[in-house]
A and B are shown apart, each in its own frame.
Chain A
C-alpha cells in the first residue's frame, strides 16, 4: 500500500484535516504502468471523467480540457457544506484525481489552435461531447499519426437520434433494466444516481486503453464511437437477449406466493441482509435451519421462511453474514456508505485512499479498482490517487509546454480563450 492508499485507521483519520498515514518512501519510486502516456479528455462531463480516471491513477498525464466555468462533473453535488464550488464537488474529487486542468474555449479558432497543438502531443483522446461538435474537433487530428480517439455520446455519432439529449435517468429508461427495480403498479426505478452514465464512461475508458495499445504497438490508429445507450444495452443485465431467446419480457420479478425468491432482502436484528436462494445455496440454508431442502420430501418454503425470520430477528447483519457464509450460503449485509469504510475486508485490503485535497482537507476516495501484483505488493503501489485540479490550475503551464510565449499566453487569457485558476 502506498501513502495514498492508506486505509482509514479509525475515527482519528476521519476528522476533517486529519493527515493520511505515511508509508515508506520507496513506494514513490515504483514506475506506474501508464507513465509517459498523454491522454486528452474533452467535455468536462461525468462519463468522460469516469473514462479517463484510471489512466491518471495509473500514471498517465491526463489533461482535462474544460469549458470556461467547468463542465457537469464540477457542477454535480454533493459539495462540502452544501455550498457549490467547482473544485469541491464529490464527483470532481473522485473522478479528476491526478489530472491536469486546461480551460479552453473551443468555440473560438484560437482555442482550437491550442487544441491542435495539444493533440499532436497526445496518444489518446477521450471526448464526451455533443455529436455535432465531434467532426470539427476530429478534423484537428492527423489521421495517420494523431492520437487514438474515443467519442462518448448518448446515441452515437450518427442515426436519427444522434442529436438527442439524454441524462443518466433517460439512459436508464433505454436500458430495459428499470422495470425489474420497480414494483407492480408503481413507476419503474433507476439504479443509483449516475450509474448508467458512469458505466458508459467506464466502457469508453476500457476500449480507449485497447485503442491506445493498438496505436502504440501496431501503429493502428483507431477511432471509436461509444454510444451510451449501446454500451449499457449491449452488456449483460439487459432484458433484450432473454426476450429475443424466449419471447418473454422479464418484468417485476417477484416470487409467487409460497415460493422462495431467487435473491431475497430480509430484515435482521440491526438492518437487512440479502440471501441467494438458488442452488446450491437454497438447500444449504434449509440444512442450516433444519428444514427439508428443495427436492426433498417435506420441503416447505413458508416453514423455512418462518425459521429464517426467527433466526434473523436474533442476529445482526454481521453475525448473519459470518454464520451463513460459514454454512456455505450466499449472503451479504446491506451496508451504508459509512459502514463500507469500516468494513473488515475493505480495511484489510486498503480499499479506500485518502487524498489531501487543497481547500477541502483529507477525503476518502475509492482505491484501486484492481490490485496489480496482489494487495500490498510493490506493483500495487502503481495506483495512486493524487488531488484533483482546480479549474484551470494547469492552463498556463500546459500552454507553456506547448510552446506559447509569455506574451501569447497573456493574450489568450485576455481574449477569454484560455483561463487559469
Chain B
C-alpha cells in the first residue's frame, strides 16, 4: 500500500517548470489526490514540441519524452485545458470548487484577468487555500517581472559569492537553486496554510515569493554583513577556517575527489589514508589546526600530489575507512552504479508509454510504514481528461463537446 500521510487532500496544480510540479508530486507520493492542469493548446515549458538536449530519442510525441518534465511530475493525474474558453473555465471552476489546495504559477495578476483571482475563487470555495508562486512574489514593485531560477540566484546575494576567486565574474554561471529548494518551501507553506484554514474555518491566500523562499538559506552570507559589515568573498570550494577543504585531482581525465578534515583526528585519518602518517605526527607543522591554516597552499599541493594517481572511488573508500571525509565528484553513470543507492533501492526502473523503461531517481525520503511508490509515472498530456471530468459531473457527451470546442485536448501541435 502506498503512503497515506496526506490521504484525502485534494490538490489542483496549475504550475510549470519545477517548484510547483515537484511539490505536487511530493503530495501525490504521500497519498494526496493531485490533478495537474496543463495549458492547452499552448504546451508547457517542460514539454517542448521540437527535440532538444533533454529529449529522449525514440518514437512518439516529443513532449512526452522530455527529461525535465519527467523529473517533477510523478503521482498525479493530468487534464489539459484551455481556460480561456468558457468550457475550459467551467472545468477549472469545478475542479477548484472541490479542492483543498490550488497551486498556481502564473505571473501576478494573470489569473485575475482570466476570472480565477483569489477574490473570485474564494467565493466559489470558501475553504480553499490558494498559493501563488511568482518569483518575486505577488505584491510589491516587481509584480509582473519574469523570473527564472537564475534571476533569483543573481538577485539574492547568492551568485555574488560563487566562482573561482581569481576568475572573471562573467564566468560565474547562475544556478537554479530556488527551483531545487522552492518545492520544499511550497510544501511547508501548503501544510501550514491548511492548519490555519482549519483553525480559522476559512480558506486563505498565500503569497510565496521564491526569492524570499531562497534568501533564508544563506545565513553565513547575510551574517558577514550584519555582524561585521563585510561582504563575503568568493571562496571557490574553500572554507576560511577548515584546511584541507577542497577538491583534489584523481587518476583519469576530469576526475576529482572532495577531501575535508575538520579536526586533528580527521586530519590524522586522512594523512594515513594518503600514505603520509607523518603529516599528522606531533611536531609536524601541519599536525595542528593553526599550522594547517597557515600553510593552506602547501597542504593543498601535497594532497593533490598524493591523490592524482589514485582512482577517485578508491581514494574516497580509503579516506572514509580511515575516518575522514572523502567523496568522488560523481557523474550520473556512477549514481546509476552506486552500491549505496542500489542497496537502498533508490533507483527504480519506471515504465512509461513513450519513454519505455527508464531509470529514475527515487523519493526524497524513505518513510515507514507504507513506503511511497511510483503509483503513476508521469501522466500523458490530458491523459485523465475523461476520468476527471466524469468525476466533476460532466457526461461523456459533454466531454466530447468540450473537446470539439477546443476547451480540452490530449495532444500538442
The answer to whether A33 and B195 have CB atoms under 8 Å apart is yes
**Which residue of B22, B171, B184 has the most chain A CB atoms within 10 A of its CB atom?**
B184
Residues of B220-248 contacting chain A, CB below 8 A: 220-228, 231-232, 235-237, 239-241, 245-247
Considering the complex of A and B, which 9 residue pairs feature the smallest CB-CB distances, nearest first?
A: A90-B223, A94-B219, A243-B332, A332-B151, A366-B216, A170-B327, A245-B67, A214-B5, A370-B189
The complex places the Cα of A154 from the Cα of B177 at a distance, in Å, of 20
Interface-forming stretch among A113-121, A128-136, A187-195, A409-417?
A187-195
CB of B412 within 8 Å of the partner chain: no
Given A34-B192, A54-B188, A241-B70, residue A210 in contact with residue B5 (CB < 8 A):
yes
Q: Which residues of B have CB within 8 Å of A69?
A: none
A158 CB-CB contact with B under 8 Å:
yes
Q: Is the pair A198, B150 in contact by a Cβ cutoff of 8 Å?
A: no
- Given the interface pairs A222-B5, A244-B332, the reply to whether A366 lies near B155 with Cβ below 8 Å is no
Cβ of A343 under 8 Å from chain B: yes
By DSSP majority rule, is chain B's interface helix, strand, loop, or mixed? mixed
Closest residue of A by beta carbon distance from B129 = A372
Interface size class of B (residues with CB under 8 A): 35 or more
Looking at the complex, which one of B18, B151, B155, B209 makes contact with A340 (CB distance below 8 Å)?
A: B155
State A230–B363 Cα separation when bound (angstroms).
7
The closest CB in chain A to the CB of B248 belongs to: A187
Q: Which residues of A have CB within 8 Å of B136? A: 345
Whether B156 and A158, one on each chain, are in contact in the complex, defined by CB atoms closer than 8 angstroms, is: no
By CB atoms of chain A within 10 A, which of B138, B141, B188, B333 has the most? Answer: B188
Within the complex, the shortest CB–CB distance from A191 to chain B, in Å, comes to 6
Is there an interface contact between B180 and A236, defined as CB atoms closer than 8 Å? yes
**Contact yes or no, B196 A339, CB < 8 A:** no
Pick from B155, B192, B366, B369: contact of A156, CB below 8 A: B366
Q: Are B344 and A234 in contact (CB under 8 A)?
A: no
Is the beta-carbon distance between B222 and A364 smaller than 8 angstroms? yes
Are B53 and A276 interface neighbours, CB within 8 A? no
Q: Which residue of A lies closest to B358 (CB)?
A: A244
Contact A335 B364 (CB under 8 A): no
Q: A191 and B162: CB pair below 8 A?
A: yes
Asked if B228 and A189 make an inter-chain contact with CB atoms under 8 angstroms apart, the answer reads no
**Per-position 1/0 for A22-63, Cβ under 8 A of B:** 000000000101100000000000000010011000100000
- B72 contact set on A, CB distance < 8 A: 236
Query: Would you call A193 and B239 a contact (CB within 8 A)?
Result: yes
13 pairs, A vs B, C-beta closer than 8 Å: A54-B188, A174-B327, A176-B332, A187-B246, A189-B163, A190-B237, A210-B6, A233-B335, A242-B67, A345-B136, A345-B141, A369-B216, A374-B139
- Chain B residues near A (Cβ < 8 Å): 4-7, 18, 22, 26, 30, 53-57, 65-68, 70-72, 131, 136-142, 145-148, 150-164, 167, 169-177, 179-181, 183-189, 191-196, 199, 204-209, 211-213, 215-228, 231-232, 235-237, 239-241, 245-247, 249, 254, 256-258, 260, 262, 266, 320, 323-333, 335-336, 339-341, 343-344, 346, 355, 358-369
Pick from B145, B185, B223 the residue with the most CB of A within 10 Å.
B223
Q: In the bound complex, what is the Cα–Cα distance between A170 and B259 (angstroms)?
A: 7
| CB of B165, distance to nearest CB on chain A (Å) | 11
Partner among A95, A241, A370 whose Cβ is within 8 Å of the Cβ of B207: A370
* Chain B neighbourhood of A179, CB < 8 A: 254, 329, 331
Nearest CB of chain A from residue B49's CB, rounded to whole Å? 12
Residue A145 CB within 8 A of the other chain: no
A237-B179 in contact given A90-B226, A349-B209 (Cβ < 8 Å): yes
Inter-chain contacts of A94 with B (CB < 8 A): 216, 219, 222-223
Complexed CA–CA distance, A173 and B328 (Å)? 6
Residues B151 and A276 in contact, CB atoms below 8 Å apart = yes
Report the separation of the CA atoms of residues A166 and B223 in the bound assembly, to the nearest whole angstrom: 24
B164 and A186 within 8 A (CB): yes
Q: Tell me if B247 and A345 are in contact (CB < 8 A).
A: no
The reply to whether the CB of A333 lies closer than 8 angstroms to some CB of chain B is yes
Option from B68, B184, B228, B343 in Cβ contact (under 8 Å) with A205: B184
Task: List 15 additional contacts besides A90-B223, A265-B170, A374-B138; criterion CB under 8 Å.
Answer: A53-B216, A177-B175, A195-B177, A206-B184, A225-B366, A227-B344, A230-B341, A236-B71, A240-B336, A241-B360, A246-B56, A335-B156, A337-B224, A344-B140, A365-B216
Q: List, in ascending order, chain A residues with CB within 8 A of B193's CB.
A: 33, 372
A224 with B151: CB separation less than 8 A: no
A80, B228: Cβ atoms closer than 8 Å = yes
Residues of A within 8 A of B211 (CB): 345-346, 351
Q: Does A82 contact B (CB under 8 A)?
A: yes
Known A-B contacts A31-B199, A174-B327; the reply to A80 vs B154 at CB < 8 A is no
Q: Which residues of A contact B368 (CB under 8 A)?
A: 222-225
Which of A102-110, A286-294, A323-331, A398-406 lies at the interface with chain B?
A323-331
Instruction: A177 to B175: give the CA distance in the assembly, Å.
Output: 9
B4 partner, pick from A218, A235, A245, beta carbons under 8 A: A218
A245 engages B218 (CB within 8 Å):
no
Bound CA–CA A53/B136 (angstroms) = 22
**A93 engages B146 (CB within 8 Å):** no
Check: A220 CB closer than 8 A to any chain B CB: yes
- Judged by a CB distance under 8 angstroms, whether A21 is at the interface is no
Query: Across the two chains, which residue of chain A brings its CB closest to B30?
Result: A210
Most buried by B among A367, A369, A373: A369
- What is the bound-complex CA distance between A91 and B362, given in angstroms? 30
Query: Judging by beta carbons under 8 Å apart, are B367 and A211 in contact?
Result: yes
Interface residues of A in 55-83 (CB under 8 A from B): 58, 76-82
Contacting pair B164 A189 (CB below 8 A)? yes
Beyond A176-B330, A192-B161, A244-B360, is A213–B54 a contact (Cβ under 8 Å)? Answer: no
Whether a CB of chain B sits under 8 angstroms from the CB of A363 is: yes
Best-buried of A50, A339, A343 by chain B (most CB within 10 Å): A343
Query: Which of B22, B213, B325, B339 lies in contact with A370, CB distance below 8 A?
Result: B213
Residue A165 interfacial (CB < 8 Å)? yes
Q: In the complex, A91→B224 CA distance in Å?
A: 11
Q: Which residues 226-270 in A have Cβ within 8 Å of B in the complex?
A: 226-227, 229-246, 248-251, 253, 263, 265-267
Q: Are B54 and A334 in contact (CB under 8 A)?
A: no
Q: Which of B70, B196, B205, B359: most chain A CB closer than 10 A?
A: B196
CA distance A99 to B331 in the complex (A): 40
A375 lies within 8 A of B215 (CB) = no
Instruction: Please state if A263 and B367 are interface contacts (CB–CB under 8 Å).
Output: no
| Identity of the chain A residue whose Cβ is nearest the Cβ of B232 in the assembled complex | A337
Least CB distance from A121 to B in Å reads 20
Of the candidates B160, B162, B212, B223, the one whose C-beta lies within 8 Å of that of A335 is: B160
B18 touches A183 (CB 8 A): no
**Interface contact B185-A78, CB-CB below 8 Å:** no
Chain B CB count within 10 A is highest, among A58, A179, A244, A335, for A244
Q: What is the CB-to-nearest-CB distance from B359 to chain A, in angstroms, rounded to a whole number?
A: 5
Contact indicator B53/A246 (Cβ below 8 Å): yes
In the complex the two chains form, is B223's CB within 8 Å of A78's CB? yes
Residue A360 at the chain B interface, CB threshold 8 Å: yes
CB distance from B44 to the nearest CB of A (A): 14
Which residues from chain B contact A161 at a C-beta distance below 8 Å?
320, 339-340
Residues from chain A with Cβ under 8 Å of B333 in the complex: 243, 249
A170 with B220: CB separation less than 8 A? no
Complex Cα gap A197–B1 (Å):
31
Q: Tell me which of B54, B146, B240, B366 contacts A224 (CB under 8 A).
A: B366
